[in-house]
Each structure stands twice: as structure tokens, then as C-alpha cells.
Chain A
Amino acid sequence: MKIRDLSLAEFRARLGGDGIRLATGPFNCRLQSGIPELADELARLYAHHPLIDDKPFVDFHVGVQPGHGLRRWIAPQARFVVDAVEPFTPLPRGQALPMLEWGLNWCVTAYCHHILVIHAASVARGKHAAILPAPPGSGKSTLCAALVNRGWRLLSDELTLIRLDTGQIMGLARPVNLKNASIDIIRAYAPDAFLTRPILDTTKGTVALMAPTQASVETVGEWADPAWMVLPRYRAGSDATLTPMGSGAAFMQLADNAMNYHVLGARGFKAVGDIIDRTHNYSFEYSRLDDAIAVFDRLAAEGTAE
């Protein structure tokens, strides 16, 4: 059974009660919230995710709850709660939905050291995946959202999960976090995609979440092999240009963006090295999304021809 099979009333009741139990790639999550107004958008973001109803092991028990006491009415707050613990300062109630998403990301980075966790987007064509590590503002999420709406499948927008045994990428297929100008760009580029209403004044500026495509969610269990490491940079007016990157520089890019590189020690070093051994590495400058997609499609065609 999928989230979309629940009526909104049923979804809302579960969310406010014992929680919605769903699977996002390798993780089972239980989402709870006493903030009913986020139910509608949350249900649409996760429409294609499978419900897990037979009470299995849950990796993350998380919720966003309203503020205590007067904070329900005066300057209302949202609190992120992970199994009765509140690790973070509350945010304004209007930011409850992104808070839930960021909180889930935090759970992965805080609790999961059986895998290498890289702060990067990743997308795949069949079994071949491109990893896009990049600092905020580089247009990583915009490019990722565009690719996903043009036939690539979303593995992850924010956190790329690498198995330490096989070096494969395990997809998450959770919503894509779009910021500022990229919200309207993606609305225009992919009118069929579901985007939440823009949420103003977050620490990342204006934010909207884009639902992963149905195909991405349904094939999330198919782990992908890293084939390309592409460091994107948006520059207004530029042509889409791929520049090969030396493996030393590529290694440093991945290691810098690996959230638990230091925690994993020698295993982290080996995992990053193994990825770089398998990937073609590029830096990539672009401005027009169609041109960028064409470049990625060409990469995919060459990659499968090999």
C-alpha cells in the first residue's frame, strides 16, 4: 500500500496519532505531527512511497510538534523531535515541513556510519549514477531537479549513501529541496512536478520541496554504480561545458563533502578512493538547463556503450 492510497483524512489522522510509517530507500521512518496544516503537502510529497504497516523495525522515529504553552498562539513554533529528544532550536511554525526534511537528513548523518554519507545529489540512468557534490548556491539541486524531470531517476538530492561493501549508491528518493530563484525555474521547466508552496525566510532563504517522480520512488531499491562525479557550477550566460578533473582533485571534492569521512577513518579513505577509481570526473559549468541535460544524456549514452 502506498501513501497515495490513504485518504487525506486518514493520512491526517495517522500523522496526528501514532504516526505515518513509510520506507524511504533503506530507511524506515515514522513521521508524527501535531501540526495538521502540513498534512496535505506532506502526503503529496510522499505520495508514491510505500507504507509499512506490519510494525517492522523503524530507523527514525521523528516528528514536528507545535510549541509548548503560549508558543502555540504567540509567535507559533515548530519543534523537531526525534524519539522524545529535541536536538534543535525550534523554528517558526510555517517552516515545519522543511524542518521535518532537514531533521530526517540530520538523523542519517548522526546515526548512520555503516555507510559513507556524502553531502551530494545523485541521479541515475539504469544502473549508472552521477554524483553531484557541491557547495550551496552552485545550482546542484536545480540541476538535480531538472534531470529527474527529464528521465533520470532521483537517488538523492541532499545525501548520497554509499555502501562500504559494494561501493553502490543506495537511493533515498526523498523530496528535492529547491531554493530561491530555482523554485520558479523548476516550476516553468517541469509544470507537472509537484512543488510545495514557497516557505519564506528560512535560514536557506525561500524554500520549496519538490516531490520525487513516481519512477524514482518505485525503483529506489535498485542500487546504482557510481559512474560519474560531476561538480556543477551555475554561471549566468555560460555554455554547458564539461572539463575533466584529475583524480586527486576529485578525491578531495568527495572527501570534503563526505559527512562521516573522519568517523570512518581508514574505511572512509578506501571508500572514497574506490568511488574515484570507478568514476569519470568532471567539473561542469552551465546556465541553460536543456543544454545541461543534453550533456548528461551524452554521458549516459557513452557510459552504457562502454
Chain B
Amino acid sequence: MNLLIEAYRHPESIRHLGTTDWDLLVRQARHANLVGRLFLRLQSAGVEADIPERPHNHLLSGAVMASEQRHAIRREACFLREALKPAGITVILLKGAAYVAAGLPAAQGRLFSDVDILLPKERLGDAESALMLKGWASTATDDYDQRYYRRWMHELPAMRHVFRGSALDVHHTILPPTARLKPDARLLIEASVALPDLPGVHTLSLPDLILHSASHLFHEGEPDNLLRDLTDLDLLLRHLARDDAAWDGLLERAMQLQLSGPLRLALRYCHRLLGTPLPERIAARSHCLADTGIVQRMLDGIYARVLRPQHPSTADALTPLARRSLYIRAHWLRMPPLLLAYHLAHKAIFPPKQKTHPLSTEQQG
């Protein structure tokens, strides 16, 4: 039972929820990383007073957490600007950090764990040195991971600041160079826009933020944040739609960047699951609502399941298969077959360590 999507799409429907429904709704929202965003959605729809006290406490807590992250991210962007200034490199923020710094609606209630930046590939070495001078250090543990990232990926191994503990992903493009789709990162960098209230910090342009989010969503093999990412896209698209002509610009930009495929899926699932408004001519031009072909039906079957809160209450008999298919599809799109076989074999023989940490009451969530 997917209470989360229902509450998100139709906030007034929460008036009919019973106590056990609220219990489940909060749990689903937590698993989808959408606690804070759901709260703000219900609040702006004017139904906050209809949330019973206990679930209200949980949802509000999520929103409080997200609003404090906004300050942290803006501060982090300034540190990055100062670190990269000596190398003459502009900070271009991507994803969540960009939404927050640009004050986009997609920042609402957004929880995230790292800052993503984009810079030209030929400046990667200089940037890494400049960042290390200011306290960022690589977190990849073994040689295989270091080599894997540097040879095959579109980003450096994740970095972490030694004092602040903040995580950083440095990208030189938005998809792995081994992926079948090859968007030209120079076009993204050229079109990036300066932030008026954070001098020296840029973000991708709005259409490029949408296309990046779409390409990320449909190359991602781990389903945990997919629904959250889809709500990002919904909010970005609604923001873009303030200017009707921007829709056509978006489709053209997608063609230019070879990202029409991911955009088509993004429009399809945003419209179907979240009711994102879509002009008819755009639906027709992008064929995003067409129901043809076995491949499309298989994708629908997969995404119908992974674009749910990944909580036991929303799973069905095909969910495990959908999750596995997503993982394989993501890797298939990101690597040629031989490299994929080699990578999966390595990960099977040397499985990555579990990402858990010791239990301590002194440490904050």
C-alpha cells in the first residue's frame, strides 16, 4: 500500500487517514528520504492542522533537519570557492547543492549527504591538489576502487573534509565516459549560471539541472533514493513550466546533449506517478506517454516497483526481481559488456564492506 504517493499527490486526502495509516505513512516517507519534503508539501497545501500530533512531530523533524542543511551547504559552497580560487577554477554546483544554493523549489525538504561539483576534465588534477591543500581527502579505500574511479568513472573517488566531515563528489562530466550516452560536459559548463547572492559560485542552468537529474535517475542502480529524485524532477519541471516556451528549449537541449532518452522516461514517470503537468505538444514531440514495445512495458514494470518507497509495506512478489533488474540495467547502460563482466566479477570476489558504523549515543544521526 503506497500511502506516500497518495499523500504527496493529494495532500487533502490525509484527512481520511487513521492512526495506523499515519504510522505507515511516516515509515514510508522515512524510507524514501521524503519526511521533510512531505511536511512542507502538506504545509503549503494548508492541511498541516490535520496532521495528528505524533506524526506531526516526525514530519516536522525532517523539515527542521533539511532547513539546517541548507545553511551548511551554502557555507560549504563558500569553502569550495575559496579552495579552488587559487587554481582559477569556478565552482559549479550540481544536484541537491545546486537546488539549495539557487533557492529552487526542489530544495524543499531535501536531505542529502554530499556536495557535487563539476569542472573541466583537464583541470581535474589541479582541482584535486587544491582541494587536498585545504583539507579534503580521498575516501576510496582500496587500489581497485581508486583505479576504477579514475579510469572509468565521471567523478573522482568521493572526498571528505578532514575537519568538517563534509563529503564532496568532484565530477568532470555527468555520466561515466564508458556509458552509451555521451553528453558533452563543455556545453554544460558553458551554460552554467552565476548565483547572484553567492558571487563566484555557479550552478548548471535549469534545463541542464533537469537533464542531469533525469540521466542520473535512469542510470542509477540503487533504488533507495529514486522516488526522492523523481520528486526533485517534478519540482524542477513545475518550476520550468512557469515559462511555457522553456519546454521546447528543454527538448532541444536534450537532443543536443544526447539525453532525449532519459528525459522521455523522466517526463513519463513524473506525469504518471506525480501528476506533473505536461503540455500536449511536449508529450507528443517526446513520445513520452506512448505505450508501445515490449522494452517499454518491461521498464514500466521495473520502475513501477523501484519508484515506490523501498519499505516492506510497498513491496510485491516482483519487487526483488525489479530491484535486481534495475541494478543490471544501470550497469549495462554505464559500461561496455566486457568491462561490466570484469567489474561485477571483481565485486563478487571482493564484496564491498557493509556501510555501517558503531553504535554510540554520543554521535548524532
Using CB atoms and an 8 Å cutoff, list the residues of chain A in contact with chain B.
28, 55-59, 61, 80, 83-89, 91, 99, 102-103, 105-106, 109-115, 119, 136, 158-159, 203, 259-260, 262-265
User: How far, in whole Å, are A28 and B68 apart by their CA atoms in the complex?
Assistant: 27
**Mind listing 17 A-B residue pairs with CB under 8 Å?**
A28-B54, A56-B23, A57-B20, A57-B22, A57-B54, A83-B311, A84-B31, A88-B358, A109-B364, A109-B365, A110-B364, A111-B58, A112-B61, A158-B361, A259-B364, A263-B65, A265-B68
- Return chain B residues, CB-CB under 8 Å to A56: 19, 23
Chain A residue, CB-CB nearest to B35: A111
Which residue of chain B has the shortest Cβ distance to A84 in the bound complex?
B312
Q: Is the CB of B359 within 8 A of A114?
A: no
Contact of A57 among B55, B354, B365 (CB under 8 A): B55
- Give Cα A88–Cα B354 distance, bound, in whole angstroms: 10
Given known A28-B54, A57-B54, A263-B65, contact A111–B365 (CB-CB < 8 A): yes
B113 adjacent to chain A (CB < 8 Å): no
Contacts of A260 in B (CB 8 A): 364
Report whether A262 and B359 are in contact in the complex, using a CB–CB cutoff of 8 Å.
Answer: no
Instruction: Evaluate whether A86 and B311 lie within 8 angstroms (CB atoms) in the complex, with A106-B361, A113-B60, A263-B64 already known.
Output: no
Contact A59 B54 (CB under 8 A): yes
Q: Is the CB of B57 within 8 A of A87?
A: no
B interface bracket (residues with beta carbon within 8 Å of A)? 20 to 34
A109–B68 CA distance with the chains assembled, in angstroms:
15
CA distance A57 to B356 in the complex (A): 28
Q: Across the interface, do A83 and B30 meet the contact criterion of CB distance under 8 Å?
A: yes
Q: Are A59 and B58 in contact (CB under 8 A)?
A: yes
Which residue of A83, A99, A115 has the most chain B CB atoms within 10 A of its CB atom? A83
Whether A263 contacts B359 in the complex (CB less than 8 A), given A57-B23, A83-B27, A84-B311, comes out as no
Which A residues are CB-close (under 8 A) to B61? 111-114
**B68-A262 in contact (CB<8A):** yes
Residues from chain A with a CB closer than 8 A to the CB of B22 are 57
Question: Which residues of B have CB within 8 Å of A28?
Answer: 54
Residues from chain A with a CB closer than 8 A to the CB of B67 are 265
Q: Which residue of A lies closest to B25 (CB)?
A: A57
**Smallest beta-carbon distance B225→chain A, Å:** 14
User: Do B57 and A89 touch (CB < 8 A)?
Assistant: no
Question: Roughly how many angstroms separate A274 CA and B354 CA in the complex, as a whole number?
Answer: 43
Are B365 and A88 within 8 A (Cβ)?
no
Check if B23 sits within 8 Å of A88, measured CB to CB. no
Chain B residues contacting A102 (CB-CB under 8 Å) are 359-361
Whether B71 is near chain A, meaning CB under 8 Å from some CB there, is yes
Closest to A110 in B: B365
> Given A109-B365, A112-B57 in contact, is the A55-B359 Cβ separation under 8 Å?
no
Q: Enumerate chain A residues within 8 angstroms of B30, measured Cβ to Cβ.
A: 83, 111
Q: Contact: B57 with A114, CB < 8 Å?
A: yes
Contacts of A99 in B (CB 8 A): 359
Given A113-B61, A114-B57, the answer on whether A88 and B362 have CB atoms closer than 8 Å is no
Q: Closest CB-CB distance, B47 to chain A, in whole Å? A: 17
Min CB–CB distance A233 → chain B (angstroms): 18
CB atoms of A106 and B23 under 8 A apart: no
> In this complex, what residue of B is CB-closest to A260?
B364
A114 CB contacts on chain B under 8 angstroms? 56-57, 60-61, 64
Interface residues of B in 104-155 (CB under 8 A from A): none
Q: Closest B-chain residue to A88, C-beta based?
A: B359
Contact with A along B284-322 (1 / 0, CB 8 A): 000000000000000000000000000110000000000
In the bound complex, residues from chain A placing their C-beta under 8 Å from that of B19 are: 55-57
Which residues in A have their C-beta under 8 angstroms from that of B358? Answer: 88-89, 203
Nearest A-chain residue to B20, judged by Cβ: A55
Q: Within the complex, which residue of B52, B357, B364 is in contact with A89, where a contact is CB–CB below 8 Å?
A: B357
With contacts A59-B57, A106-B359, A114-B61 known, what are 12 further pairs, Cβ within 8 A?
A57-B19, A57-B54, A59-B54, A109-B361, A111-B30, A112-B58, A113-B65, A114-B56, A115-B57, A203-B360, A262-B68, A263-B64
Which A residue sits closest to B56, measured CB to CB? A114
| CA A58 to CA B30, docked complex, whole Å | 14
**Closest residue of B by beta carbon distance from A259:** B364
Query: 8 Å CB contacts to A: which residues of B19-51?
Result: 19-20, 22-23, 26-27, 30-31
A28-B362 Cα distance, complex, nearest whole Å: 23
Q: Which residues of A contact B365 (CB under 8 A)?
A: 106, 109-111
Q: Which residues of B contact A203 (CB under 8 A)?
A: 358, 360
